[in-house]
Amino acid sequence: MALGQLTHSAAVDAWLDELADREPGSLSEADQAALIHELQRIERRVVAARLHVLAAAERAKTATRSGAASTAAWAATLTQADPQAAYRDVRLATEVEHSPIVKESLRRGDISPAHAAVIVDADRKLPDTVTPAQREVVQQTLVAKAQSLSPSRLRKIARRALAAIEPDEQVVDAHEDALLQDEETSALARTSLTFHDNHDGTVTGRFTVPTMQGHLLRKVIEAMTAPRRGRLGASRAQTGVPAETDWDHARGTAFIELIEHLPTDHLHPATAATILVTLDEAVLREQLTAAGLDTGDKISAGQARRLACNAGLVPVVLDKASVPVDLGRRSRLFTDTQRTALATSHETCAADGCERPYAWCELHHWEPWQRGGRSDLRNAVPLCHFHHRRVHDTGFVHARLPDGSVRFSRRT
């Protein structure tokens, strides 16, 4: 059938034009829901038709005759699509052609391409002993479940697709476990972490990790960014929660806090996980000039002073001739024993209204160490990552209240 014979395509275009010119806001809630459902069904049918053509092009080797390396490359060039997405489409198109039940469900718009991909993947992973008739039963079962499940939920259920034809639960359990082991092995093989220095004071990273570790990280970050109820009278500024939360930014700052609290004493060599902060002795006292890192970068003097409070970052203090006069100065740091003792009087960050747990706090010298402050319990103040930054922020002033808490206010 030539393209010119697709007489109904003009009618479809006309209907879409009419819909675009109409204000959906004038429709009732029920009509809007019905329209969205119908558009989704049509969208699925259109994708099914495209996959049908891709499968035909793959069989006919159309791409080869056109000089393209593959059907996916040919389709990606034609449609300006991402090559990886085009590859997935061609693979799905080919597999659907061998699964009549899935193909027909997709053609009717009953399931989405994502659902279809889950079903054909589950079919591919069934044991070799499964007969064609049994495969049809499994496919029909999954197609029925897809009517009420998202693709991600269907994917989890599909690991036990064998249960549709296998009455022995132990066999189904063993099959599911084997699938999970394969997934975990593949996930570990694809694990990666990359960094890119943006040369603007930030580093952009991208990582791929197995699902379990990804969820572990997500749970930690979500726990750190969950809204907390401050004590009575505590302002949002005091609790560290901005009035309008940018959750991407909140997760980013939580990730920073997590990185700075990672234990490194068990790493070998331990110095590989230690950042050296190099600054003049005068800078440490006068709080004026940027400090250098052993990575070749620079940070502000305020950032350097904050980091100098923590045992994981070692300050290298230079004299006027730029000769190191002190490396670490371990006496400036609070000991583990002192930290444990302070936990008896502080359950949370000392900032008024902040409920960050004490375990996540950094010990700050109330009377600055560089000005003669001692590393003893009377001079120790536990502050969370947010408030430790704030105490070194020249835009704010802070005062210690009779109960030992710290109240911040913007400098006027």
- pTM of this structure: 0.60
Peptide bond into 83 cis (omega under 30): no
**Residues 317 and 284: beta-carbon distance below 8 Å:** yes
Q: How confident is the model at residue 149 (pLDDT cuts 50, 70, 90)?
A: very high
Neighbours of 92 (CB within 10 A): 22
Which residue reads 């740091």 in tokens? Answer: 333
Structure tokens at 203: 């580093």
Most confident of 22-31, 186-195, 280-289: 186-195
**Residues 361 and 375: beta-carbon distance below 8 Å:** no
Structure tokens at 134: 């049994």
Lowest mean pLDDT among 33-37, 125-129, 240-244, 397-401: 240-244
Evaluated on CA atoms 306, 309, 311, 315, the torsion sign reads positive
Question: Mind listing the pLDDT tens digit for each residue in 223-268?
Answer: 778 664 333 334 444 444 444 468 889 899 889 888 877 766 655 4
Question: Mind listing the pLDDT tens digit for each residue in 72-112?
Answer: 999 999 999 899 999 999 999 999 999 999 999 999 999 99
Q: How far apart are CA 332 and CA 310, in angstroms?
A: 10
**Residues 220 and 258: beta-carbon distance below 8 Å:** yes
> 379: closest CA among 280, 311, 309?
309
With a cut of 60, say whether residue 271 has pLDDT above it: no
With a cut of 80, say whether residue 338 has pLDDT above it: yes
- Supply the DSSP symbol for 56: H
The size of the chain, in residues, is 412
Q: How far apart are CA 285 and CA 302, in angstroms?
A: 11
Structure tokens at 340: 């444990």
The residues, any chain, with a CB within 8 Å of residue 328's CB and separated by 6 or more, are 314, 315
pLDDT of res. 136: 96
Structure tokens at 17: 């034009």
User: b/e string for 235-268 if b means 16 or more Cβ within 10 A?
Assistant: eebbbbbeeeeeeeebeebbbebeebeeeeeeee
Q: How far apart are CA 211 and CA 254, in angstroms?
A: 20
**Residues 277 and 240: beta-carbon distance below 8 Å:** no
Which residue reads 């009278």 in tokens? Answer: 233
Q: How far apart are CA 78 and CA 81, in angstroms?
A: 8
With a cut of 60, say whether residue 279 has pLDDT above it: no
Q: Where are the alpha helices (DSSP H) in 61-99?
A: 62-65, 71-79, 83-97
Question: Mind listing the pLDDT tens digit for each residue in 116-143?
Answer: 999 999 999 999 999 999 999 999 999 9
Q: How far apart are CA 326 and CA 124, in angstroms?
A: 65
